[in-house]
Structures are given as C-alpha cells and as structure tokens.
Amino acid sequence: MEVLWAPWRMEYILTEGKETCCIFCTDDNSACDEERLILHTGKNTLVMMNKFPYVNAHLLVAPHKHCQGLDMLNDEERLDLINMVSSATEILKKAFNPEGFNVGLNLGKVAGAGVEEHMHFHVVPRWYGDSNFMTVLADVRVIPQHIRETYMRLKPYFKDL
Ligand SMILES: [Zn+2]
C-alpha cells in the first residue's frame, strides 16, 4: 500500500467511531458552514464536501430529514433531493469540467455507507486517468487540490441556487 499526502484520511482513522452527532443534521448556524464544508443549505436538502474524499471535489447531497432511506422521504423531499443532485452535478461541470460522474447511494453499512443513519448521495466527478472509484486501500490516490481550496472554488456557484 502506498499512501500519498492525505492528512484527511488520518483524521478519519482517528475520529472514526467517535462522532457524537450526525454530520448532516445542521443547527442553522451558517457561521460553521466553512468549517463543516457545507456548500449549500436549501429548504429540504444540503450539499457538503466529503471530508474524506477519494477523488477531488467529491460532494455529498443529503436531505435535512435524518433518515436511512428514500422511502422515508415525502414526495417533495425526494424531488428536492434529486434536483439538488442534478444542480451539484451541473456546478461541478462548470467548475472542474469533469469527463463523467459516479452518482449513487450507499444504503446500509454492508453497502459501504459511512453514515448509514442519515442517507446521502455521493456525487463524484471523474476524469480519464484519475484513480479508480471502486478501488480500496491498496492503491495510490492523488488528490491534486486540497479540499478547502476546492471548497472555496465551488462555494460561489452555489450562491445562485
Ligand atoms: Zn442526521
């Protein structure tokens, strides 16, 4: 296993299992948005950067409702969620010009959910030659831009939503 500079992975290892509150349940304190890497908060949804990305600009889109699956959302919440996934994808296209995307849900620990109690979409931009999304630890990953730099670049796009 070869690990390139990736301090957020170490933070993940150190904090895993110690999170006391849900990262997706916001307290309406927008002063903390940058600290929590929240890019946008809408009526029913929020968008944040994945603090532990496998690829640069890996976004998470979640409903405000703390629930485990799509069946627990009402029609309006489900529609807002998929619309926000669409907006996030469009914004990534404008900001980083990716050549493709992986968009998906991991429902349940067995399916790879990091925070299984609060469902969230992964929106992962892809470029030819980037690291393989499905590969695990025994791999070299290069994230060319630091996560906070990426946050600052994306934030203005979400102001227009
Ligand atoms: Zn939650």
pLDDT of residue 16: 54
Give the tokens for residue 17: 């299992």
Q: Across the chain, what does the average pLDDT equal? A: 82
| Residue 135: partners with Cβ closer than 8 Å, 6 or more residues away | none
pLDDT in tens, 37-61: 999 999 999 999 998 787 789 999 9
d(CA 17, CA 14): 9
pLDDT of residue 1: 41
Return the closest-CA partner of residue 155 out of 38, 23, 43: 38
pTM to 2 decimal places: 0.81
What separation in Å is there between the alpha carbon of 130 and the centre of ligand 1? 31
Which residues are known catalytic residues?
A: 120
What separation in Å is there between the alpha carbon of 119 and the centre of ligand 1? 8
Q: Which domains does the chain have, with CATH numbers?
A: 36-159 (3.30.428.10)
What separation in Å is there between the alpha carbon of 140 and the centre of ligand 1? 32
